[in-house]
Each structure stands twice: as structure tokens, then as C-alpha cells.
């Protein structure tokens, strides 16, 4: 794994945070690679926790584990972990105590970590017959960039490029976790006034905004975009096509085509208008 930042090159993990808000706290970036995108029926393949303990001790924990189902080829093509790679690996239960101890009481940082990575972890712990560890707070960079109303695309790779963070070996848990920590640090510097809150206030603001009027700001503006199809499932955002429903809501179709190509096939099968289907296919080929 290689991670470089033009804004923070050479900076140790303990200096990732740009705010005194996390002084004396356990702060860990968290990322998973999985068998798929369902938090209820898919399984963890790789996980990473990168950051610092309360005393500043660096943490870099990374595990590949054997899931209870075979890894689909589409998933392997994304994260590079195939069934032969996990044949002799331990199950998640073998490292569950270590992971639980680290996450308990930590400030957890991740990209879509609240709705995907941590949700997936909770499901896996329930399968083991135990409750998942409870972080002190969750700082989700996907929620944060939407709250800050930064322009799309909001995928991790595009955001890192925009903020001078050079990421190699993307879609490995450790690389993505480290990149997310750097992204969070960079956002805290560029938007410092927004971070002048207590820890609980900051998390509440990221999720809910300043008031009831902001409650729908995450994924904002989708209903205002011109629909491509009669049902408004796909909408036009400048030269991009964006999905306005389901598990990939708010993501560009070209991004989904790369990360979850089978979903595009399913989407096309749900559309009745041949003209709409052809326009989507032409867009994805361009």
C-alpha cells in the first residue's frame, strides 16, 4: 500500500487530524472489503483500522479473513482478493476481540462508514451472537462532503484527487482507510469554522445540519435534477447521469458501472423505455 499527499506528504499518522477536537481521543479510520454491497447478506473479506490511541500510539491493523460464502468474481475484480487468497485465512471471529477492543469508544472515521462499513460489521457481530462495539462518534466523510455541499463526484478517489491526496492500491482496506483519514484532516483545515463545535455537536451537524431545514441535505438536489426516464430513477447532472433511488442513490452511473457492474444490468432491466435504455448505454460507452 502506498499513500501520498501533496498537502501532507511525510506526515505521521498521529498528525492526520487538523483539529484539537480529537486531542486525547482514540481516532481510527475504518474500511472494509467485502463479498458485495448488501449489509445484511454479504460478508467481510478484509478490514483495516488505522490511526492513533488516546496516548498517540500509532495503530495499523489489517486482516484478510475467510467469509462464509464464496467471493463473487465481480467483487474480487474490485478489491483483488480471490477465493484462493482466503482459503487458509482465519474467520472474522478469530480477530473479533481485537477489532472490538479497538473500535469501542473510538472516534471512527470512514467514507460511507455509517451506512456501510460499520453497518456491515454490526451484522457480522450479530451472526457471531454478540453485540458490535460502540464507537464514541462516527465521522463519515461522505456525509461530511455532502453537508459541506462540495461538488460531485463524492466517491473517495475523486475527492482525494481534488484535495491533493494521491492514492495507490485503491480498494484495499488499508489504503482506503488511510486516504479517508487524510481527507478528513484536509476538510477540517479547509473548512475550519464548521469544525468549531464539540465532538457530539460536530457529529450531529454532519448528520442533521443546523436545523430542521437541513435535514434532507444529504444527497441534496437529486429531485431538482432533470429526470432521464419517466419514473425519475435516473437524472441528468450536467454531463453526468446520476441514480436517484436505491442503495447507489446519488452516485454517477459510470462510477456504479466500475464498482458494481451487475447493478447496471439490473437497472436496465427495470426500465421499459428502449430510448432511455439506449441513452444510458451510449452514456456509459462514452
> Where a domain ends, among 161, 189, 214?
214
Name the grid cell of 214. 437541513
Residue 259 is part of which domain span?
222-285
Residue 180: closest CA among 133, 113, 256 = 113
pLDDT for 183-220, tens place per residue?
999 999 999 999 988 998 999 999 888 754 443 444 44
Residue 242: closest CA among 155, 148, 113 = 155
Name the grid cell of 61. 491493523
Give the model's confidence band at 222: pLDDT under 50 very low, under 70 low, under 90 confident, else very high: low
CA–CA separation, 9 vs 43, rounded Å? Answer: 34
Name the grid cell of 42. 454479504
Question: For residue 171, what pLDDT is reported?
Answer: 67
pLDDT for 249-267, tens place per residue?
778 888 888 878 888 988 8
Provide the whole-model pTM: 0.70
CA–CA separation, 282 vs 276, rounded Å? Answer: 10
| Pair (140, 262) in one structural domain | no
Residue 34 forms beta bridges with which residues? 44
Give the model's confidence band at 21: pLDDT under 50 very low, under 70 low, under 90 confident, else very high: confident
Mean pLDDT of the chain: 85
Q: Classify 61 as helix, strand or coil.
A: strand
pLDDT for 109-148, tens place per residue?
999 999 999 999 999 999 999 999 999 999 999 999 999 9
Under 8 Å between Cβ of 79 and 46 = yes
Question: For residue 250, what pLDDT is reported?
Answer: 78
> Where a domain ends, among 214, 230, 264?
214
| Pair (108, 183) in one structural domain | yes
Q: Could you give the number of structural domains in the chain?
A: 2
Cβ contacts of residue 130 below 8 Å, gap of 6+?
96
Name the grid cell of 274. 428502449
> Where a domain ends, among 167, 182, 214?
214
| Pair (23, 56) in one structural domain | yes
| Pair (50, 76) in one structural domain | yes
- The 8-class DSSP code of residue 214 comes to G
> Is residue 14 scored above 50 in pLDDT?
no
| Pair (156, 56) in one structural domain | yes
pLDDT for 65-105, tens place per residue?
999 999 999 999 989 999 999 999 999 999 999 999 999 99
Amino acid at each position: 500500500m502506498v499513500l501520498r499527499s501533496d498537502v501532507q506528504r511525510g506526515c505521521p499518522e498521529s498528525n492526520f487530524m487538523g483539529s484539537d477536537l480529537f486531542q486525547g481521543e482514540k481516532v481510527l479510520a475504518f474500511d472494509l472489503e467485502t463479498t458485495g454491497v448488501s449489509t445484511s447478506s454479504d460478508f467481510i473479506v478484509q478490514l483495516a483500522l488505522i490511526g492513533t490511541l488516546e496516548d498517540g500510539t500509532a495503530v495499523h491493523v489489517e486482516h484478510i479473513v475467510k467469509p462464509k460464502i464464496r467471493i463473487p468474481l465481480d467483487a474480487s475484480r474490485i478489491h483483488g482478493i480471490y477465493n484462493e487468497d482466503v482459503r487458509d485465512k482465519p474467520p472474522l471471529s478469530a480477530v473479533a476481540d481485537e477489532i472490538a477492543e479497538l473500535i469501542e469508544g473510538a472516534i471512527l472515521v470512514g467514507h460511507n462508514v455509517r451506512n456501510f462499513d460499520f453497518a456491515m460489521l454490526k451484522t457480522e457481530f450479530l451472526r457471531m451472537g454478540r453485540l458490535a462495539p460502540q464507537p464514541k462518534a462516527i465521522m463519515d466523510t461522505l456525509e461530511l462532503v455532502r453537508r459541506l455541499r462540495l461538488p460531485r463526484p463524492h466517491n473517495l478517489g475523486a475527492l482525494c484527487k481534488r484535495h491533493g491526496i494521491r492514492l495507490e492500491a485503491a480498494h484495499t482496506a488499508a489504503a482506503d482507510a488511510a486516504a479517508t483519514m487524510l481527507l478528513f484532516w484536509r476538510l477540517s483545515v479547509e473548512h475550519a469554522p464548521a469544525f468549531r463545535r464539540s465532538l457530539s455537536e460536530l457529529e450531529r451537524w454532519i448528520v442533521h445540519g443546523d436545523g430542521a431545514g437541513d435535514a434532507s441535505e444529504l444527497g441534496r438536489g437529486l429531485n431538482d435534477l432533470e429526470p432521464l426516464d419517466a419514473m425519475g430513477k435516473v437524472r441528468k447532472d450536467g454531463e453526468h447521469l446520476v441514480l436517484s433511488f436505491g442503495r447507489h442513490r446519488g452516485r454517477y452511473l459510470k462510477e456504479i458501472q466500475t464498482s458494481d457492474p451487475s447493478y447496471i444490468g439490473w437497472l436496465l432491466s427495470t426500465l421499459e423505455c428502449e430510448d432511455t435504455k439506449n441513452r444510458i448505454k451510449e452514456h456509459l460507452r462514452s
